[in-house]
Amino acid sequence: MFRTPRRVWALAALLSTSLGGAAFAQADTPSTQDKVSTWTLDEALSRARSQSPVLRRAEARLETARADLMEARTYPFNPELGFEAAERSGPLETSTDRGIEIGQEIEIGGQRGKRTRAAEAEVAVAESVFRRTEQELGHRIELAFARGLAEERRAEIASAELALVEDLLSFEEKRLEAGAGTQLDLNLARAATGRVRQALQEALVARAGARTALAEAVGVDPVDPPVPTGLGPAPWPEVPPLVALVERALETRPDLAADRAALEMARRQVELQRSLARPNLRASVFTRREEGDEITGGGVGIAVPLFDRNQGGIARSEAAVSGAAADLRATELAVRRSVTDAYARYESATQAVRALDALVVGTLEESLALLGRALEAGKVSAGEVIVLQRELVEAQRQHVQAELDLATARSDLRLAVGQPALAPRIPNPSTAGDS
């Protein structure tokens, strides 16, 4: 008789662990765990905080904005010191004339204050961009981690399925040798074995790709990728209604805050450009010695804005205000759409998982037990075993995919609302780049 209860119950345990347990709980696999490092989702997010080049680039932009603010707060014109000397030759005597002059250009339109306010708005833009970059990076890592867990499960399922078809192939070979089987059953078992071996190789390739994608998302070398372990993104205890989520997104999304700050920066640039139309005052004091006489005095000069009144700068800044206002309105609409779409995907994915839980989890172990007893009793043919096995395994794959879809939809919804996976952190000027 074909003895398979060990293989069947092994598959039952493997499949029921994923179907009945938490989303993407990974079974221990010593053959892989001993060779590579394992990461939980929290560990992946923590490593990204210190190693992600994406965050480093956003920090660099923030530091550039802070440097611009420092420059704006600094008075832009240094004093000018001039020295002159001349030899005076006359019919009776020769003398040397000399003089010293100190000049200073003075802004009289409040330009420095306006530059500072515009630079402060630029820093606010960069800080909001940094926060949104953190959120997008956390979302990317969550997706890569969830996919990694799913591919680990798919590889395990394919390995367990291969064990079953190899047992079936061995059984059919022995049956044919004993004259109890048929060549057709043996051919079906061989075909199933080849198919499942190919499926296992594809699953292993997909698993390797998911591991390297996770490593790249975190910012570490994909040549030595980690194995995701533990649980995927945590579910929300209770998802608020759609209207509340949209309102929360409009209040808290950093990209919206960045666009609002950009609009304010554009308005302050208009004020600055208008003030630049006013010419600067140049004041100076001097002392000279001419023909033995000491001369001390001063002077004031100002450009006459007859031709250049900064018309182009003012027009550009006013156009930038219109563009920034349009960008803000477009972002608001995009936020509303992204939350609405993500909410619909989340609701659909939740219902799909619940339906599979109700239809598959409750019957899987029973079906596997029946299949084991039928195999022992010789009541099913190789073709029937293959069909039943494929149906049961495919149900598990569908459940893994449904869980992955739910994890993806959940992370998408959090990103759309502006709920971060990475704890918000704005680097201090003194520590930026050290973390």
Backbone phi and psi for residue 242, each to the nearest 5 degrees, phi listed first: -60, -45
Amino acid at residue number 181: G
Across the range 325-349, mean pLDDT stands at: 96
Amino acid at residue number 116: T
pTM, two decimal places? 0.80
Across the range 376-398, mean pLDDT stands at: 76
pLDDT confidence band for 305 (50 / 70 / 90): confident
Question: Between the CA atoms of 134, 137, 142 and 145, what dihedral angle is there, to the nearest 10 degrees?
Answer: -140
Give pairs for 158-161: CB < 8 Å, separation 24+. 158/196, 158/199, 158/200, 158/202, 158/203, 158/204, 159/200, 160/10, 160/11, 160/14, 160/15, 160/393, 161/11, 161/196, 161/199, 161/200, 161/389, 161/393
Query: Which pLDDT value is given to residue 393?
Result: 82
Cβ contact 207:152 at 8 Å: yes
Alpha-carbon span 36 to 57, nearest angstrom? 29
Q: Specify the DSSP element, H or E, that contains 174.
A: helix 111-177
Domains of the chain: 5-84+109-275+304-417 (1.20.1600.10)
pLDDT confidence band for 236 (50 / 70 / 90): confident
Query: Which pLDDT value is given to residue 126?
Result: 95
Residue 26 pLDDT exceeds 50: no
One DSSP character per residue, 1-37 reads ----HHHHHHHHHHHHHHHHSSTTPPPP-HHHHTTS-
Instruction: Show the tokens assigned to 357.
Output: 């839980």
Backbone phi and psi for residue 81, each to the nearest 5 degrees, phi listed first: -110, 125
Across the range 283-308, mean pLDDT stands at: 84
Backbone phi and psi for residue 191, each to the nearest 5 degrees, phi listed first: -65, -40
Sequence-distant (≥ 6) Cβ neighbours of residue 413 within 8 angstroms: 239, 245, 339, 342, 343, 345, 346
Among 166-175, 180-189, 284-293, 370-379, the range scoring the smallest mean pLDDT is 370-379
Residue 333 pLDDT exceeds 70: yes
Mean pLDDT, the chain, rounded, equals 83
pLDDT digits (tens, 9 = 90+) for 253-273: 999 999 999 999 999 999 999
Bridge partner list, 282: 105, 301
pLDDT digits (tens, 9 = 90+) for 72-91: 999 998 999 998 888 877 67
Question: Between the CA atoms of 173, 179, 185 and 189, what dihedral angle is there, to the nearest 10 degrees?
Answer: -10
Alpha-carbon span 241 to 417, nearest angstrom? 12
